[in-house]
Amino acid sequence: MEDFKNTESGKVPRHVSIIMDGNGRWAQQRGKERVFGHSHGVESVRACVEASVETGVRYLSLFAFSEENWGRPQAEVSTLMGLMFKAIADEVSALKKQGVRFRTLGDFSRLDPALVEAIRSAEAATAPEEGKEPVLDLIVFLSYSGKWDILQAAKKLALDCAGDISRLENVGPDDFAARLVTRDIPDPDLIIRTSGESRLSNYLLWQAAYSEFLFVDTLWPDFGKEEFKSALSEYSKRDRRYGKVK
């Protein structure tokens, strides 16, 4: 396995984002309920956080629950929310110890207020001291969708220009990005989706404009440190041109 921390080429992606997929199938293959897969999925989250710290990835973001996931059976939605609650309680001190800042982004209006409170206190507990940079930002997208994010940014922009519509003339992509919920996070360099599905599923639609994509067959509960590091190895071979010539 390559030692990414020692590569000087800048080939370690700054921001890795993962669409964690395949928990249900992983459980079904074992004759278990889907929720069994979700709880094993938390172990993969832990492994990817550790692998990010080891390799020098600065931002790790995870698509944990989409807006569309609200349409799953009520029992599964409750279990997923319960898992989130438990994972926050169990992991916060380990995250703090590793210098990881925990953050959550999405439409919180649909979340249980008690979960929102737990999220806010975990974010506060893992916030770095004044003037210090976290080792890693772990960003969990919860009740998130790319279209929702674009729409809420468009509404903000409309409100900001309402008094003087001529301001729209000078609005550029950076002004729009400054109103997305990801405004202070660099766009993902690498987006990984597990479980053999090759789609973006309404995830970071604006932010993925120049991301590299990696679709792997591994089901999320089987995606560990080794798979994460292999993904970085694959990324290091990519030639990013951003529409230009080299």
Active site residue ranges: 21, 69
Q: Name the phi and psi angles at 112, rounded to 5.
A: -60, 125
Counts of helices then strands in the chain (DSSP H, E): 7, 6
Give every CB contact of residue 145 below 8 A, 6+ residues apart in sequence.
66, 67, 68, 107, 202, 203
Q: Which is nearer to ligand FPP, 62 or 111 (CB)?
A: 62
Least CB distance from residue 65 to ligand FPP, whole Å? Answer: 6
Nearer to ligand FPP, 12 or 119 (CB): 119
Nearer to ligand FPP by Cβ, of 13 and 22: the residue is 22
Q: How far is the CB of 124 from ligand FPP (least distance, A)?
A: 18
What is d(CA 186, CA 181) in angstroms, rounded to the nearest whole number?
12
Nearest to 37 by CA among 228, 222, 232: 222
Nearest to 139 by CA among 207, 82, 234: 207
The binding site for ligand FPP (CB under 6 A) comprises 20-25, 34, 38, 41-42, 45, 62, 64, 69, 80, 83-84, 87, 140, 195
Shortest spacing between CB 163 and ligand FPP, in angstroms: 40
